[in-house]
């Protein structure tokens, strides 16, 4: 289907209606840039996070996990440069009191909201969110919500290395919340003020670093294509040109997704040189060198290659990719001919992987037993209300890949009908085989 700007309205409305994503504190009018995940959204988010974690950490012997705090010693942010530099150039309108990023304005002397020329010169605005630790609210007790998940990884590098008995090269990964006081939150969850990141910092020697950079680029592409099933035409690898690179970086690429509102960054892969570790050595006064026993005991500051993805942006891309409408043969399932709304989610991340549907109220008891058998292994739902056609439609809208119908025949043949979301085809499967069958299907879809 056509995925233009009006598509976003449909998606935002589905997300709210079906309990995927809605405004935070909605009864109070919401809060700009903050979003809550409802029951299906939570299930999807956890599944995507787990898939990333499995791909990046659990299935590799050279990447370790970390779960650091959101509030850290503020010196971390001094060392990383966030306190001094992390910001955008902003223009304030003196008339309508709106604030705009100067790089997003057509003309920095004209307010894009009201057209007034009564605007300030562009000035720097820091994006770090500030708080205070302890009972005294003064500058000595100021602290910050982390603006990215990677800085504590650098600070904890040696503790992790020693505990995990690791030699270079190896990586440390973490998933968690990050906070940025974005000036202009927009495009649904794309630019939020509170969001989750999935980051992995890979520590290696300078000589090997470009090979690792290319390796991670290829791995991350594989993840989006093979696991999330994005099309090649939905992704763009946008290399940073020499003028766009940070002064310490050797190479960087943005992985962009074709959103209905235009191309937008999903993930950055950055060669960060020795910048981060050198800065933390300088600001902490600790020796953060690594003793390279494989190379004549030389001492070095590890070079870092980073993969930094946004979890909320991934979810948004997944939903944009998955939402579809078709004119399936709905009559066959006892419904009037109509447009069918369907989320074509990969089975591994669908919030409900199998819906157990008794055909009649009388069959509830044995069907519920089947649900209890299946639900420890698959995200399942037991749905008894409405005609079977309506229940299929409801499951299509939330992306359930397999509807398992328990009918009167099931009592005799100990089998159920599995209906596939995309093809709407049905198969008869023995109940004793069902778990095995679903496991194979989830792995393949």
Q: How far apart are CA 312 and CA 192, in angstroms?
A: 9
Q: Is 191 in the site for ligand ATP (CB under 6 A)?
A: yes
Identify the CA nearest to 174 among candidates 266, 66, 277, 98. 66
Q: Do residues 402 and 409 make contact, with C-beta atoms less than 8 angstroms apart?
A: no
Name the residue nearer to ligand ATP (CB basis): 194 or 333: 194
Tokens of 28: 């109070």
Instruction: Quote the least distance from Cβ 416 to ligand ATP, whole Å.
Output: 41
Q: Is 267 in the site for ligand ATP (CB under 6 A)?
A: yes
Instruction: Quote the least distance from Cβ 348 to ligand ATP, whole Å.
Output: 21
Name the residue nearer to ligand ATP (CB basis): 240 or 390: 240
Options 37, 55, 157, 195; binder of ligand ATP; rule CB under 6 A: 195
Tokens of 298: 């030389």
Q: How far apart are CA 62 and CA 169, in angstroms?
A: 7
Q: Is 180 in the site for ligand ATP (CB under 6 A)?
A: yes
142-151 b/e with 16+ CB inside 10 Å = b? ebbbbbbbbb
Name the residue nearer to ligand ATP (CB basis): 252 or 415: 252
Q: Do residues 144 and 64 make contact, with C-beta atoms less than 8 angstroms apart?
A: no
Name the residue nearer to ligand ATP (CB basis): 208 or 265: 265
CB neighbour list of residue 187: distance below 8 Å, 6 or more residues apart: 8, 259, 261, 264
Identify the CA nearest to 315 among candidates 422, 218, 175, 216. 175
Instruction: Quote the least distance from Cβ 310 to ligand ATP, whole Å.
Output: 2
Q: How far apart are CA 238 and CA 240, in angstroms?
A: 6
Instruction: Quote the least distance from Cβ 17 to ligand ATP, whole Å.
Output: 23
Instruction: Quote the least distance from Cβ 392 to ligand ATP, whole Å.
Output: 34
Residue with tokens 């209300």: 385
Q: How far apart are CA 83 and CA 60, in angstroms?
A: 35
- Choose one: 41-49, 160-168, 214-222, 265-273; the region binding ligand ATP (CB under 6 A): 265-273
Residue of closest CB approach to ligand ATP:
310
Q: How far apart are CA 156 and CA 161, in angstroms?
A: 9
Instruction: Quote the least distance from Cβ 219 to ligand ATP, whole Å.
Output: 16
Instruction: Quote the least distance from Cβ 263 to ligand ATP, whole Å.
Output: 11
Tokens of 379: 């995200």
Q: Is 36 in the site for ligand ATP (CB under 6 A)?
A: no
Q: Taking CB under 6 A as the rule, which mask of x and - marks residues 296-325 in contact with ligand ATP?
A: ------------xxx-xx------------
Q: Is 192 in the site for ligand ATP (CB under 6 A)?
A: yes
Q: Is 154 in the site for ligand ATP (CB under 6 A)?
A: no
- Contacts with ligand ATP by CB under 6 A lie at 148, 180, 182, 191-192, 195, 197, 265-268, 308-310, 312-313
């Amino acid at each position: 289907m056509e995925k233009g700007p009006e598509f976003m309205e449909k998606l935002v409305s589905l997300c709210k209606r079906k309990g995927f994503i809605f405004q935070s504190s909605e009864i109070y009018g919401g809060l700009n840039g903050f979003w809550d995940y409802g029951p299906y959204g939570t299930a999807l988010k956890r599944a995507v996070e787990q898939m990333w974690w499995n791909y990046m950490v659990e299935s590799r012997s050279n990447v370790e996990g970390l779960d650091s705090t959101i509030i850290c010693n503020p010196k971390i942010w001094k060392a990383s440069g966030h306190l001094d530099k992390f910001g955008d150039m902003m223009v304030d309108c003196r008339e309508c009191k709106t604030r705009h990023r100067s790089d997003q304005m057509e003309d920095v002397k004209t307010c894009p909201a009201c057209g007034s020329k009564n605007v300030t010169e562009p000035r720097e605005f820091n994006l770090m969110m500030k708080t205070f630790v302890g009972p005294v609210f003064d500058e000595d007790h100021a602290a910050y919500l982390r603006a990215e998940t990677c800085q504590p990884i650098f600070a904890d590098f040696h503790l992790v290395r020693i505990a995990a008995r690791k030699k270079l090269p190896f990586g440390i990964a973490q998933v968690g919340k990050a906070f940025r006081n974005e000036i202009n939150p927009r495009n649904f969850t794309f630019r939020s003020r509170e969001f989750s990141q999935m980051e992995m910092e890979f520590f290696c020697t300078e000589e090997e670093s470009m090979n690792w950079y290319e390796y991670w680029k290829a791995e991350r592409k594989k993840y989006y294509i093979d696991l999330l099933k994005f099309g090649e035409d939905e992704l763009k690898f946008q290399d940073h040109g020499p003028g766009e690179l940070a002064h310490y970086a050797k190479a960087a690429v943005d992985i962009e997704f074709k959103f209905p509102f235009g191309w937008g960054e999903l993930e950055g892969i950055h060669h960060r040189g020795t910048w981060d570790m050198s800065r933390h050595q300088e600001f902490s006064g600790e020796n953060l060198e690594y003793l390279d026993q494989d190379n004549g005991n030389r001492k070095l500051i590890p070079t870092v290659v980073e993969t930094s993805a946004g979890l909320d942006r991934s979810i948004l891309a997944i939903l944009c990719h998955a939402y579809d409408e078709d004119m399936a043969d709905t009559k066959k399932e006892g419904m009037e001919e109509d447009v069918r709304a369907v989320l074509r989610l990969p089975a591994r991340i669908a919030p409900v992987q199998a819906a157990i549907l008794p055909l009649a109220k009388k069959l509830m008891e044995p069907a519920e037993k089947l649900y209890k058998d299946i639900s420890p292994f698959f995200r399942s739902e037991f749905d008894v209300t409405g005609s079977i056609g309506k229940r299929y439609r409801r499951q299509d809208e939330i992306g359930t890949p397999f509807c398992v119908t328990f009918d009167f025949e099931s009592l005799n043949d100990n089998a159920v009908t599995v209906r596939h979301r995309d093809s709407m085809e049905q198969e008869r499967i023995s109940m004793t085989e069902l778990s095995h069958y679903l496991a194979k299907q989830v792995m393949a879809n």
